[in-house]
A and B are shown apart, each in its own frame.
Chain A
């Protein structure tokens, strides 16, 4: 069976849904960030799959993928710094305990 673009789109849709499930249902802030990273990766794989099957010659998709990877890295850096700062205050990374904006 020839691997077509459809297979890749379904794979990335599935992985995106897994990441979304993880980001919504875990209460450890770090695992939520991991879920977000999974979603990012699924999206970027989607781009590269389209590049391979349709727009082989133009490099726009690869450049976009490089930018997207950089943005994901920057976002995870800032997100984890926030988690560390919040940990210092609440002494836990449990999202259920971070209820009050005060303080």
Chain B
């Protein structure tokens, strides 16, 4: 179990680092997909299998496809890459902020009071969250957020189509 954790963490972190630092957008997207697979692996390791499958289905099957389509639509199809980015001021600002945030989070996690609250091993219950239980929780306890989510997704769908639609009518 520990080896799996370290391998998956290595995949996840490498995927994330490559996703934000490679030059070619398509390579960034591919490493983002690797990152998503790593996170899905972590979900499977944490006994949340339904969530792992949902992660693959939605993030890799939909969000990554969306990003790829957007990349394809926003490139000059002549094949050139576009201006290359150079390591400059923005990088140092970004890395500095990230380092501060990471340092803060590490300090909070390591602090003794919190460490006492956190259990050191997994709870002894071997419980695989069956899909039926999640389904029942969704429609019994959490039905209002579910309906709100449906409205949100519909609004996002219609909104995205409207925003990205070509304004042919106005050109007349």
The reply, when asked whether chain A contacts chain B directly with Cβ atoms under 8 A, is: yes
Binding site for B on A (CB under 8 A): 1-11, 13-28, 30-31, 33-35, 37-38, 41, 45, 48-49, 51-54, 56-57, 59-60, 62-63, 65-67, 69-78, 80-85, 87-88, 92-94
The total number of A-B Cβ pairs within 8 Å is 230
Residue on A with the closest CB to B99?
A17
Type the 1/0 row for B73-113, where 1 means its CB is closer than 8 Å to any CB of A.
Answer: 11000000011010000110111011101100110010000
Q: Quick check: is B161 within 8 A (CB to CB) of the other chain? A: yes
- What are 7 contact pairs spanning A and B, CB under 8 A? A18-B98, A21-B98, A31-B20, A48-B42, A57-B125, A74-B156, A87-B74
Query: Contacts A30-B25, A63-B138, A80-B70 given: A3-B99 contact, CB under 8 Å?
Result: no
Binding site for A on B (CB under 8 A): 1-2, 5, 9, 12-13, 16-17, 19-21, 25, 28-29, 32, 35-36, 39, 42-43, 46-48, 50-51, 54-55, 58-59, 62-63, 66-67, 69-71, 73-74, 82-83, 85, 90-91, 93-95, 97-99, 101-102, 105-106, 109, 115, 118-123, 125, 127, 129, 133-134, 137-138, 141-142, 145, 149, 152-153, 156-157, 159-161, 163-164, 166
